[in-house]
Amino acid sequence: MLFSVLGFLLVAGIAFGIGMLGNINRWLSDLPDYTDADEYLVSEPTHILDSQGTEIATFFVQNRESVTADKVSEWVLKGTVDVEDERFYEHNGVDIIGIGRAVLAQLSGRSEGASTITQQLVRNTILSEEQFDQTIERKVREAFIAMEMEKIFSKDEILMMYLNTIYYGHGAYGIQAASKTYLSKNANELTLAEAALLIGLPNSPSYYDPTANPDVAVDRRNKVLGNMLRIGTISQEEYDAAVAEPLALNVTETSDTGISVYAHPYFVDYVKSLLQEEFSTDVLFKGGLTVTTTIDPAIQQAAETAAVENINKYPAANDLQIGMSVVDPKTGHIKAMVGGRDYNADPNHVNHATAKRQPGSSFKSFTLATAIKMGVNPNITINCESPLYWDNPGGEDVRIQNYGNHNYGYRSLASATAVSSNTGYVQLAETIGNQNILQTCKSLGLDTSSMHDVLSMTLGTGDVTTLQMANAYASFANGGEHRAPVAITEIKSRAGEVVYTHKDEKTQALTAGDAAAVTEVLETVMERGGTGVTGNPWIKQPIAGKTGTAGTASDTTDLWFCGYTPQLSVSIWVGHSGTNTPIKNVNNSTMTLPVFKAFMKAVLADAPREEFPEGPTPEYKPNSEWKFSHTKSPEELAAQQQAEEAAKQEEESSDKEGEGESPQAPTTPQPQTPTTPQPPVTPAPETGGTTPTTPQ
């Protein structure tokens, strides 16, 4: 205590000697809060973890990682004191002997520092804005805070504060960051020679940088070892062995962007955007947060492999991009996010999993859900002939056609879904009302801002993301329960306190019975729609889903598939990045569906079978209560069928009477119009607009 008091009096005496003693009270009147340990951590990076606790990214202003004493080599702890402040455990913040020695050195023309470890810590952290001020005021403030610190914190605490904040060069702040930067190992794994190398760097980080001046760095290392030998920290044998050890660096370069990404870059970008909505840049890049996310590394790897390997198979897809999202229906957790083929190859880093595109006929599932919710039975018969026309007052009639203008005749709503009949679904949407469909979309978490109340809305002419689609379909898979997509489950402060924990919040977007009815129809789509997915015994799980294409009368611009099992909901998009350039020579059968199959096989092939939730059968209204603009009543259909049969018999009779003569060329036959549902026989091509172009 006597030495520290004398030290402070010495500094005060110097101030008095130059006539400034009266200013000391003013200098000490506006000191920062030196009682808070966090104030000495000027900048602490934020760590982003996957669901298994593995770090996938770091956001930082300074490359720093604080550790506790048990995470640092004993050689570092002892050697730092030997080199920087050998009387560290004896003084109370200001070293009188050191000051006197420094004065003598100055008088003899030499240079020697007098600052203690505590003073260096104060100067580099809470007084960092003043550290280059060569004034008595700064020295008085520094000395006073150093002495006060020693009353609040233990010596070991102060030493670790110093080791966690000091700059070691090459962008590394703190011993842990330095150890990883220069040697790619943790600070508790350092050998004596490695510890001495790092201990010597803070004195002049750029000059002693071993990556730039290896010989100079080795000389400095050996000087540190000499100090440790002189003080008795190491033996002669340890000194000799360490000095003889060659320099062996294993450098890990740090990003100069303030973000180091170790895995899943598209997802990291997404998480960063979420955090920026809640935290300031200072907190996010300096606050030392630990953010635990929902991404599952095994599921993510399976998704990336399935998506990228499949699209790379086809030379015709060289200029195409892919986006994919995977959501857990039971929690809303985002398990995987594929934003594109190669993050580093795209200078704009567009995340195609969260980019908006037209979903085409994969949107029809929401029209179906709305219809069932309103009491439309999936067995109701709809006219799926093609083309059909709608009145357009003041202009030409609106022409709607199925893909390839396929004439699907009259069939059930379930069957119309399997073949993805545009004409049938436009009638359905017209009958139940677009506003009701939009309300369903909102309840399922879709952004409806680009969805307009027009005839073709049900064909998927609005803009959505794969994340929205996977999340919406997840509600079908989980009994109608909707949860917003979850990317972050927990956030801790740098002190380890939990500042955010995700709480499960759900709404009942559909009844369990309605969701089960939708799923039953979408299971039929997979079984009968020509997708070829459930036709092979590659997975034991029940599967439901719907393809989609969007484009113009002659070109396809977007390929989609949305599918789900009880465990996972998946949405996949393929197209050109940022443009509506036509897609050539590939379709859903070669693009999205194989990705889904490969992914599900990788993650669920060996999983025990689960079943979709069941619910009470919806209360359907009588089919006769629903009127469709182009669909005839059962009585009208029966009369038409009788007339067609009569005409056919008359034609056959006429042919018999004219035997021996050339048969008359028949007129174009009218399509058959059965009143019972007809299962599709061929794949179900469809489109997102009024002019379908690409097969599923």
- Within 10 angstroms of residue 302's Cβ, the number of other Cβ atoms is 21
Kindly state whether residue 202 falls inside one of the protein's structural domains: yes
* Contacts of 646 by beta carbon, 8 Å cutoff, 6+ apart: none
Return the higher-pLDDT residue of 463 and 146. Answer: 463
Tokens of residue 550, six digits: 């969007």
Place of tokens 């002693």: 208
Whether 84 is a known active-site residue: answer yes
Average pLDDT over residues 286-307: 96
CB 570 within 8 A of CB 470: yes
Q: What does each C-alpha distance from 488 to 121, 292, 469 come to in angstroms?
A: 35, 6, 19
Same domain (yes/no): 475, 608: yes
**How many angstroms separate the first and last alpha carbons of the chain?**
84
Residue 14: inside a domain: yes
Boundary (domain end) residue, out of 605, 623, 641: 623
pLDDT given at position 648:
74
349 lies in some domain: no
404 pLDDT more than 60: yes
Backbone angles phi, psi at 271, to 5 degrees: -60, -40
Distance CA 556, CA 406 (A): 17
At residue 37, the pLDDT reads: 67
Determine the Cα angle at 602 with ends 312 and 611, to 5°.
130
Average pLDDT over residues 435-447: 98
Q: pLDDT at residue 20 above 60? A: no
pLDDT the model gives residue 63 = 83
Q: Dig out the tokens for 557 from the structure.
A: 């611009």
3-state class of 321 per DSSP? strand
What's the mean per-residue pLDDT of the chain? 85
Of 20-24, 486-490, 617-621, 650-654, where does mean pLDDT reach its minimum?
A: 20-24
Any domain includes 467: yes
Q: Calculate ∠ Cα 77-179-301, nearest 5°.
A: 135
654 is a domain residue: no
Q: Which of 36-40, 539-543, 646-650 has the highest mean pLDDT?
A: 539-543
Distance CA 406, CA 408 (A): 6
| 581, 597, 623 - which closes a domain | 623
Q: In sequence order, what are the residues at sequence separation of 6 or more whose Cβ sits closer than 8 angstroms to the Cβ of residue 5? A: none
Q: How many CB atoms lie within 10 A of CB 497?
A: 8
d(CA 271, CA 113): 46
Residue pair 409/671 in contact (Cβ under 8 Å)? The answer is yes
Q: How do beta strands 388-390 and 398-400 pair?
A: antiparallel
Of 9-23, 142-156, 407-421, 440-454, give the lowest mean pLDDT range: 9-23
**Token code pair at residue 191:** 């050998």
Q: Catalytic pick from 84, 148, 304, 385?
A: 84
Region 374-383: mean pLDDT is 97
- Catalytically annotated residue among 73, 115, 325, 361: 361
pLDDT given at position 107: 52
What is the side-by-side order of every strand in the sheet holding 63-64? 63-64, 172-173, 167-169
SS3 track for 389-453? EECCCCCCCEEECCHHHCCCCEEEHHHHHHHCCHHHHHHHHHHHCHHHHHHHHHHCCCCCCCCCC
Helix, strand, or coil here: 222? helix
Q: Confirm whether 651 is domain-assigned.
A: no
SS (H, E, C) 44-98: ECEEEECCCCCEEEEECCCEECCCCHHHCCHHHHHHHHHHHCCCCCCCCCCCHHH
The separation between CA 646 and the C-alpha centre of its own chain, rounded to angstroms, equals 64
572, 596, 623 — which closes off a domain?
A: 623
Task: Supply the DSSP symbol for 577.
Answer: T
Instruction: Considering only residues 678 and 601, tell me which one the structure prediction assigns the higher pLDDT.
Output: 601
| Full residue range of the structural domain in which residue 582 is found | 360-623
Segment 276-297 shows an average pLDDT of 90
Most confident residue range from 101-115, 138-152, 257-271, 290-304:
290-304
Per the structure block, which two tokens stand in for 93? 């913040």
The better pLDDT of the pair 44, 524 is held by: 524
Is 237 in the same domain as 373? no
* The two structure tokens encoding residue 46: 């934020």
**Of the ranges 152-166, 270-284, 433-447, which is most confident?**
433-447
- As given in the structure block, the two tokens for residue 530 are 């020509």
pLDDT for res 691: 36
Domain presence at residue 555: yes
Q: Return the higher-pLDDT residue of 168 and 124.
A: 168
φ, ψ for residue 26, nearest 5 deg? -70, -40
Task: Give the total number of structural domains in the chain.
Answer: 2
Cα–Cα distance measured from residue 236 to residue 98, given in angstroms and rounded to the nearest whole number: 27
Average pLDDT over residues 249-253: 91
Structure tokens at 469: 């689609």
Angle between helices 512-528 and 364-373 (to 10 degrees): 140
- Rounded-to-10 torsion of CA 374, 464, 50, 275: -110
The pLDDT score that the predictor gives to residue 609 is 95
pLDDT at 671: 40
Return the CA Rg of the chain: 37
CA 143, CA 165: separation in Å to the nearest integer?
19
**Which of the two residues, 124 and 23, has the higher pLDDT score?**
124
Looking at residue 669, its pLDDT comes to 38
Residue 581 pLDDT > 80: yes
Q: What is the CATH number of the domain that holds 579?
A: 3.40.710.10
Question: Is 492 within the bounds of a domain?
Answer: yes
Q: Is the peptide bond before 613 cis (omega within 30 degrees of 0)?
A: no
Tokens found for residue 488: 């972050």
Phi-psi region of 396 (alpha: psi -120 to 50; beta: other; left: phi over 0): beta
- Give the C-alpha distances (Å, rounded to integers) separating 665 from 230, 641, 651: 114, 22, 11
Separation CA 483–CA 549 (nearest Å): 27
Give the pLDDT confidence of 81-116 residue by residue, as tens digits. 999 999 999 998 888 776 666 555 555 555 445 689
State residue 694's pLDDT score. Answer: 32
Q: Quick one: average pLDDT of 112-138?
A: 73
CATH number of the domain bearing residue 185: 1.10.3810.10
Alpha carbons 335 and 485: distance in angstroms, whole number:
10
Residue 456 CB neighbour total at 10 angstroms: 18
What is the dihedral sign for C-alpha 606, 611, 484, 339?
Answer: positive
Q: How far apart are CA 311 and CA 324, in angstroms?
A: 12
Beta bridge partners of 571: 325, 562
Q: Are 630 and 666 in contact (CB under 8 A)?
A: no
Amino acid identity, residue 695? P
